[in-house]
Amino acid sequence: MIALPMSLGFAAKKNAPLKIGDKGWKVKTVQIKLNTLGLKTPLTGKYSRDLEKQVKVFQKTHKLPVTGKVDDKTYFRINEAAFEKEGIHGVKGKDVVKTASKYKGVPYSFGGTTPRAFDCSGFVQYVFKKHKAALPRTADLQYEKGLFVTMRQLKPGDLVFFTTYEPGASHVGIYAGNGLFWSATSSKGVRLCSLSEPYWRSRYYGAKRVLVSGNRSYR
């Protein structure tokens, strides 16, 4: 069992369980993670009877109260189980950061996926591929992977996301430590940026942890 950062979209206080009729990104997150676990359900963002059925299957399998509702404990366990399956094993964050730094100065090009030119998500995907780790091609799909972490919980190798040219997670970088991250920027290409820069601070969207080490979340 892995150790979860206590930041999975639910606050520290107890939240009302997700149930039939509820809508939103938390519901869609549950759907995405259950699909990862082989419990197929449409990615609608709406809590349907089909989703309730799959939640009950998960709860029964993991010896949780079988309510069909997603309370905090069920939500954490769903994310935990999905992360154990889809997380990247055997890769250290410091090594990912070291690889990212090798491409400093590579120019930016929208759609770029090679050292000739990168866009933000192409850069991230390429760096992780160097460690035989697969990530989706675009920032919004990369945001669907891993575990949510707060800014205070950030560790080297985590992914940091920003809202830039469109709503949601439309820009991504690789956290390097000390408030810095590597990013393929449209203005200066691949460079080391700071989360404290006004541009990034005002557009910060969230962070995800995708690395697993020794069957525990990389901490």
Domain boundaries, the chain: 25-86, 88-217
Kindly list the distances between the CA atom of residue 54 and the CA atoms of 39, 66, 76, 79, in Å, as whole numbers in the listed order: 6, 11, 16, 14
Are 88 and 68 in contact by the 8 Å Cβ rule? The answer is no
Q: What is the pLDDT of residue 134?
A: 94
At 190-211, the pLDDT tens digits run 999 999 999 999 999 999 999 9
Beta strand 171-177 pairing with 113-114: unpaired
Fold matches, 25-86 and 88-217: no
Token pair recorded at residue 200: 């990034």
Q: What is the pLDDT of residues 172-190, one digit of tens each?
A: 999 999 999 999 999 999 9
pLDDT (0 to 100) of residue 86 = 86
**pTM of the predicted model, to two decimals?**
0.78
pLDDT of residue 1: 42
What's the pLDDT at 13? 59
**What pLDDT does 15 receive?**
84
The backbone region for 215, taken as left when phi is positive above 0, alpha when psi lies in -120 to 50, beta otherwise, is left
Say which CATH architecture domain 25-86 belongs to: Orthogonal Bundle (1.10)
Residue of 166, 182, 185 lying closest to 124 (CA atoms): 182
pLDDT < 50 stretches in the chain: 1-12, 214-219
Question: Cα separation of 119 and 114, whole Å?
Answer: 9
Provide the CATH topology of domain 88-217. Answer: endopeptidase fold (from Nostoc punctiforme) (3.90.1720)
